[in-house]
Amino acid sequence: MKAYAEMSKEELKQEQKSLMEAYDRFQALNLSLDMSRGKPCKEQLDISMGMMDALNSQVDLRCEDGTDCRNYGLLDGIKEAKVLLGDMMENHPDNIIIYGNSSLNVMYDTVARAMTHGIMGHTPWCKLDKVKFLCPVPGYDRHFAITEYFGIEMIPVPMSAAGPDMDLVEKMVSEDAAVKGIWCVPKYSNPQGYSYSDETVRRFARLKPAAPDFRIFWDNAYGIHHLYEDKQDYLIEILAECKKAGNPDMVYKFASTSKITFPGSGIAALATSLNNLEDIKKQLKNQTIGHDKVNQLRHVRFFKDIHGMTEHMKKHADIIRPKFEAVEEILDKELGGLGIGEWTKPNGGYFISFDATNGGAKEIVSMAKKAGVKMTEAAATWPYHNDPKDSNIRIAPTFPTIDDLKQATQLFTLCVKIVAIGKLLEA
């Protein structure tokens, strides 16, 4: 089929009629499918069930240094958990704090601490006239929700396959002392699945911030979440680059096992400089006597080491890879060559990013919902839910069964076509 823009109005109207008939048939099915969030499916959760057998009432619950994990102590986590997550994050165990079940919680706390008490002796952000954050777009809605909650002004920064627009980042960070941070998902980004290029990471490390308390919030949520063994993105380690560039304190690096073991029951970690760690622990010791060491021990006993974790991630890939490929195949077949949309084909992560060429993302998502398919809210990938082109839609393939996913994607492409034709006929 030729591109829609090349069709006559009569051809478009005929196509529209046929598509609406197909849409009506979908509505008659009374579907109830959810592809709104990047949640692991049941099969993915099942592969971690062995972790429930890693500890029982008969085993020794002391960690390597002799600490009884059932009791208080070890504010920054047990050593073997720091080694395991340090290997996962490519950082030394001494540079890591192990937290509770959620890295999002750690990010929230990190912003909250900067607001109320400042960073390393600098003025608390809440006492400043203006605080700004740079937000690569499209990006992760929950990041933006944190900064919006604290009243921090969010500034969109365009993304490309190489990462954020570093010319703009460098300019804003160096010229405006009110710019205190930037959100980053540097590997298999949410939602595009992009990984920052070597040059982008090095430019981040060489930033010259006007604000001495500027920090890069480096959320490496998908660091080992590859879809393919033979096609894996590589990311330069940011803390080492910052140290080399003379900016050792500029990064907070976050990660967790949420999409490795059980979301909501994993362990999270922050890696940063020793100076930052000392600053954080001053607050942390007033917040907790220590996080769940039994769960930390459970993860270590289950995986044993990073090699166990790597083999575990191959099982995840085997489950979700066919889902990504099914979505990509349907998008290619149904929308390829029509000139009405573009989408990413990531090598890892949890999402595919779709852009409607002529806008209409909100209408597409609304139409899909009316026919029984729930998707991430259009514009959720932008600060303040303000997508100026009304174009971006995040597709989350992991949770539905592959049959449901195929059906949902067919409906999605149908909605994209109907909305695109409507736009062309209005023009």
Percent of the chain with pLDDT over 90: 98
Q: Is the pLDDT of residue 389 over 80?
A: yes
> How sure is the predictor about 427, in pLDDT bands with cuts at 50, 70 and 90?
confident
pLDDT at 24: 96
pLDDT at 263: 95
Over the range 350-388, which residues count as b (16 or more CB within 10 Å of their CB) and which as e?
bbbbbbbbbbbbbbbbebbeebbbbbbbbbbbbbeeebe
Per-residue model confidence as pLDDT tens digits over 170-229? 999 999 999 999 999 999 999 999 999 999 999 999 999 999 999 999 999 999 999 999
Domains and CATH numbers, the chain: 4-44+310-426 (3.90.1150.10), 64-304 (3.40.640.10)
d(CA 387, CA 381): 8
> How sure is the predictor about 37, in pLDDT bands with cuts at 50, 70 and 90?
confident
> How sure is the predictor about 35, in pLDDT bands with cuts at 50, 70 and 90?
confident
User: SS3 of 420, please?
Assistant: helix
In this structure, the number of other CB atoms found within 10 A of the CB of residue 401 comes to 13
Q: What is the residue type of 220?
A: N
Quote the strand ranges of 44-152, DSSP E.
Answer: 96-98, 132-137
> How sure is the predictor about 359, in pLDDT bands with cuts at 50, 70 and 90?
very high
d(CA 195, CA 349): 10
- Give the residue-averaged pLDDT of 343-349: 98
**Beta pairing, strands 96-98 & 268-271:** antiparallel
Q: Is the pLDDT of residue 383 over 90?
A: yes
Per-residue model confidence as pLDDT tens digits over 254-285? 999 999 999 999 999 999 999 999 999 999 99
pLDDT at 32: 93
pTM of the model: 0.97
Q: Is the pLDDT of residue 243 over 80?
A: yes
Interacting residues of 104 by C-beta distance below 8 A, sequence separation 6+: 142, 146
- Mean confidence (pLDDT) of the chain: 97
Q: Is the pLDDT of residue 1 over 90?
A: no
Q: Residue 406 burial (CB < 10 Å; 0-12/13-18/19+)?
A: middle
d(CA 421, CA 162): 32
> How sure is the predictor about 424, in pLDDT bands with cuts at 50, 70 and 90?
very high
Interacting residues of 202 by C-beta distance below 8 A, sequence separation 6+: 236, 241, 245
Q: How many residues does the chain have?
A: 427
Per-residue model confidence as pLDDT tens digits over 84-112? 999 999 999 999 999 999 999 999 999 99
Q: Is the pLDDT of residue 60 over 80?
A: yes
